[in-house]
Amino acid sequence: MENLEAQIAEWRAYAARAPGVNGRDVDELEDHLRHQIAELSNAGLTTDESFLIAVKRLGDVDGLSREFAREHSGRLWKQLLSSDDEPARTSSGWVEAFAFAVGAAVAIQVARLAAGFPDEEPTWLARNATLFVLPFLAAYFAHRRALDIRQWVVTALPFVLAALVVNLYPWSTGSDTEALVILSLPVALWFAAAYPYMGGTVRAHERRMDFVRFTGEWFIYYVLIAFGGGVLMGLTAAILEPAGVDVERVAEWVLPSGAAGAVIVAAWLVESKQRVVENMAPVLTMLFTPLFAVMLVCAAVVYAVTGLGGAFDRELLSVIDALLVVVLALVLYGMSARDPFTSTPGWMDGIQLVAVVSALVLDLMVLGAMIARIGELGFTPNRTAALGLNLVLLMNLAVAAWLSARFLTGRSGFHRLERWQTTYLPVFALWAVTVVVVLPPLFAFA
């Protein structure tokens, strides 16, 4: 009963914030809501189920309740479906994860031997490196989600098309467009792996946010595995080198296979150990968001005072773009880690707004310097790719800042900001695909 009263209190607080709604209106709506809950409870439903359906019914006659239902219903069903007395899975799926990890490790090793790496460094190996790993990750998700034949075909299609593009285009040795493809293809194919991860339900807002959460947690696990692997390799080298073992030759075998296999192992850890990292996510965002906000404010002030003109070059642009992407990723991960049942803004939401606004100002200054440089020297593949990325970031940050401000002032719900970010994710994927497919022939593979 306490849980029901807390849910009703949350609904009432949500309704009371709407403009033009007074306490009497809320009292009347609450009376209707309680009446519906009582009827449904008498019919044998649990209190949580009764509340969910009652709010949904009330939404048919009241726009305010419709907004509340839209924001909370999907998450409440998740809560209902994952009860504490739910039996544990009989298998964590580590065998299938291990099989796909071994497949990725073997594939990257065969490619390395065929290329003669590191004695030889052919560019086709760098172009195709992602295609030797991420298809195994996508196949792991497709197998775990039990996709049907049609969905397996849809899953494989982006990887087949990518393989044709990167291997049939007439690349020039050391070209800028080839370097851009090497950097952008992993991004495009990571989004392609989202389809099997979401079980083919790409239009579902909640599933997109789940993929954002998975990406953040996967990154944490992968970094931890990389650090652990680095320590292990260092200790192994220290032990075996006095015995005359060629440690560098051992590393040539271990590092590529380990890096490839860890992609699937980290994904399995996220899938099987979600509760562990979910506890870390709020702590990480609470720690790093203020630090990045301070850094962004300082950077924006410094460049606003001193200007970017003299210092603006490719290296600075790369650093700033990387910083903007990291800030966006941190904001997204913070949103995915947010308590879904807390609809009121907190101090962390204010800090995130400061970070987003500072990143927006910095992005505008970078765009101004970049447009001036393009006007002076003309378009190149690198400048075009950077310009497109900054425009994509500009649109995202501008709307995110506006929706965050509305949320902080009580004029909009948090779900609008969350929905904007998940709806905008395909734009990043589309730009990465554009860099891989369109820019090289546009600039004659220069």
pLDDT digits (tens, 9 = 90+) for 253-282: 888 999 999 999 999 988 876 555 555 666
What's residue 86's pLDDT? 40
What's residue 85's pLDDT? 41
Going 357 to 359 to 365 to 370, the CA torsion angle's sign is negative
Q: Report in angstroms the alpha-carbon separations of 345 from 35, 329, 340, 393, 437.
A: 30, 20, 12, 24, 42
**Where in the chain are the domains?**
2-81, 94-271, 274-412
Per the document, the length of the chain is 446
**Residue 358 CA, distance from chain mean position:** 21
- Nearest Cα residue to 215 out of 349, 336, 46: 336
pTM value surpassing 0.85:
no
Give pLDDT < 50 ranges for the chain: 19-20, 60-62, 77-90
Q: pLDDT tens digits, residue range 286-343? A: 777 888 888 888 887 877 777 665 555 667 777 778 888 888 888 887 777 665 555 5
Q: Which two tokens stand for residue 234?
A: 């260092």
